[in-house]
A and B are shown apart, each in its own frame.
Chain A
């Protein structure tokens, strides 16, 4: 029971309070780039959840069994980038062969997130917060869910924005950035939540 409560707290804190996009400002590129259509935003979100979860697992293993024993923690960043890039490549190939249907819905987005800083961010945060293996995976998973939530909200707003009359100088990226700012302000409200 205690463990379930812990998981729930972790979910709320990484989805809302420490949202990767709106309070940690990681993964802004896909947040603004792939949020024009709800369909593609959903595909991207699913791919990010998937990659963040497995990247958390693998980087934790690399850190615990390679970097710490050799005392090379300062190589974290470069080692993690290497691991994530190779992992995503491998997963892409694997899915293409074994699950073509899944590849069709996720495939295009997988290479895009190879070097996404939200993915690298979750790996580094896991280590800095001294999370254990299972918690790291959960943190990655919920971080991805938070990213997807915000991405879908943004896509929903931008789809409505298409119909609105926006002043010419504000059309496109400027108005999207302002909306991103407003959403970040709104998410700031979660910062006051006290859990556990």
Chain B
């Protein structure tokens, strides 16, 4: 009997003693953790992408509660998560527009890259770009070893048949992982509502830039876009045109005047504005906002859009307080006007 009883008592006693000690210790050494931190952690997407610049989701939650970090820094979670965190923290939320990644280079595929030599090395952009200025002739362009695609956790970057990289705007959360991964800094985060982008990063002088671009779509710093921009949003710095997105109104004029097609207009095909006269109260806001003076009309009288001048930027649609302006197919305004 004792051969069973003694071991059972010993182990049981040991376990009981440890149990009591631990139970006591958990009370004695209890560290109060703010329950808000746990709540926020459960809301965050747990991708630990680091887009908020804190070490992981738990680190961000900690920073929100302890150091009062902003509640809308989680790019993958977007507005929804920011709203929930704001509710927990009891702060009001200023909505932040979603950013997406834009690759400022149209070269970098199997068929549209001018090569200096064939690169056969470690499968990484960082490595390819450091060897003899990179394998392609343009020392600013994409070396397509796809570090950006590998860095993307949200399946937002895809490789086409030509070896080009495409950003899937629905999947892109604007976390910035690809921005950090690109050794040539070709990728930038841009608010999703901005639809006109300069897709070149070459700081070479015009002729060299054009020659070394395998796609012939280099920015040659001719300055046409700068001259034609109605809001002075474009400047040329180091032989490269750069859009100041805080001023850009999506008019797309720069894209239509660019001789090398270095500027992409993602609003194509553009429509034109049409003012429904029965709804227009003649407030003149649209005429004032129109970047190309395509809208005319007197105060308190219905306004009209000149279809020849309209560039389809949709600025007037957003400006109209009565929602009297509609975007219609090009050339259909004349017919609509007759109906009225």
Range, interface on chain B: 20 to 34
Q: How far is the CA of A17 from the CA of B28 in the complex (A)?
A: 43
Is B29 a contact partner of A86 (Cβ separation < 8 A)? no
Interface flag for B296 (CB, 8 Å):
no
Is A93 a contact partner of B25 (Cβ separation < 8 A)? yes
Interface flag for B18 (CB, 8 Å):
yes
Interface flag for A112 (CB, 8 Å):
no
Q: Which residue of B lies closest to A75 (CB)?
A: B7
Is B11 a contact partner of A79 (Cβ separation < 8 A)? yes
Interface flag for B160 (CB, 8 Å):
no
Given A82-B15, A96-B31, residue A75 in contact with residue B25 (CB < 8 A): no
Shortest beta-carbon distance from A82 to chain B in Å = 6
Interface flag for B267 (CB, 8 Å):
no
Interface flag for A83 (CB, 8 Å):
yes
Interface flag for A102 (CB, 8 Å):
no
Contacts of A78 in B (CB 8 A): 11
Q: Which residue of A lies closest to B9 (CB)?
A: A70
Q: Which B residues, 1 to 37, have Cβ-Cβ distances below 8 Å to chain A? A: 6-7, 10-11, 14-15, 18-19, 21-22, 25-26, 28-31
- The 8 A CB mask of A66-102 against B (1 = contact, 0 = none) is 1000101001001100110010011001101110100
Q: Which residue of A lies closest to B15 (CB)?
A: A82
Contacts of A72 in B (CB 8 A): 6-7, 10
Q: Which residue of B lies closest to A78 (CB)?
A: B11
Q: Which A residues, 14 to 47, have Cβ-Cβ distances below 8 Å to chain B? A: none
Contacts of B29 in A (CB 8 A): 93-94, 96-98
Interface flag for A130 (CB, 8 Å):
no
Shortest beta-carbon distance from A85 to chain B in Å = 8
Interface flag for B323 (CB, 8 Å):
no
Is A165 a contact partner of B122 (Cβ separation < 8 A)? yes
Is A90 a contact partner of B21 (Cβ separation < 8 A)? yes
- Across the interface, B10 reaches (CB within 8 A) one of A70, A86, A94, A100, namely A70
Q: How many A-B residue pairs have CB under 8 A?
A: 49
Contacts of B7 in A (CB 8 A): 72, 75
Is B22 a contact partner of A75 (Cβ separation < 8 A)? no
Q: How far is the CA of A90 from the CA of B29 in the complex (A)?
A: 9
Q: How far is the CA of A85 from the CA of B279 in the complex (A)?
A: 77
- Across the interface, A83 reaches (CB within 8 A) one of B14, B30, B31, namely B14
Is A82 a contact partner of B11 (Cβ separation < 8 A)? yes
Q: Which residue of B lies closest to A93 (CB)?
A: B29
Is A163 a contact partner of B14 (Cβ separation < 8 A)? no
Given A72-B6, A82-B18, A93-B29, residue A164 in contact with residue B122 (CB < 8 A): yes
Interface flag for B46 (CB, 8 Å):
no
Interface flag for B123 (CB, 8 Å):
yes
Contacts of A86 in B (CB 8 A): 18-19, 21-22
Shortest beta-carbon distance from B60 to chain A in Å = 16
Q: How far is the CA of A96 from the CA of B31 in the complex (A)?
A: 7
Is A93 a contact partner of B14 (Cβ separation < 8 A)? no
Is B11 a contact partner of A165 (Cβ separation < 8 A)? no
Is A75 a contact partner of B11 (Cβ separation < 8 A)? yes
Interface flag for B124 (CB, 8 Å):
yes
Interface flag for B127 (CB, 8 Å):
yes
Contacts of A164 in B (CB 8 A): 122
Q: How far is the CA of A163 from the CA of B145 in the complex (A)?
A: 12
Contacts of B127 in A (CB 8 A): 163
Shortest beta-carbon distance from B31 to chain A in Å = 5
Is B14 a contact partner of A66 (Cβ separation < 8 A)? yes
Q: How far is the CA of A96 from the CA of B18 in the complex (A)?
A: 19
Beyond the given pairs A72-B6, A78-B11, A90-B25, 12 more chain A to chain B contacts, judged by CB atoms under 8 angstroms and listed by A's residue number, are A66-B14, A70-B6, A75-B7, A75-B11, A82-B14, A89-B22, A90-B22, A96-B29, A97-B28, A98-B29, A165-B122, A165-B123
Interface residues of B (CB under 8 A from A): 6-7, 10-11, 14-15, 18-19, 21-22, 25-26, 28-31, 122-124, 127
Give 6 closest A-B pairs by Cβ, nearest first.
A86-B18, A97-B29, A93-B29, A93-B25, A165-B123, A96-B31
What are some 21 contacts across the A-B interface (CB < 8 A)? A62-B14, A66-B10, A66-B14, A72-B6, A75-B7, A75-B10, A75-B11, A79-B11, A82-B11, A82-B18, A86-B18, A90-B22, A90-B25, A93-B25, A93-B26, A93-B29, A96-B31, A97-B28, A97-B30, A97-B31, A163-B127
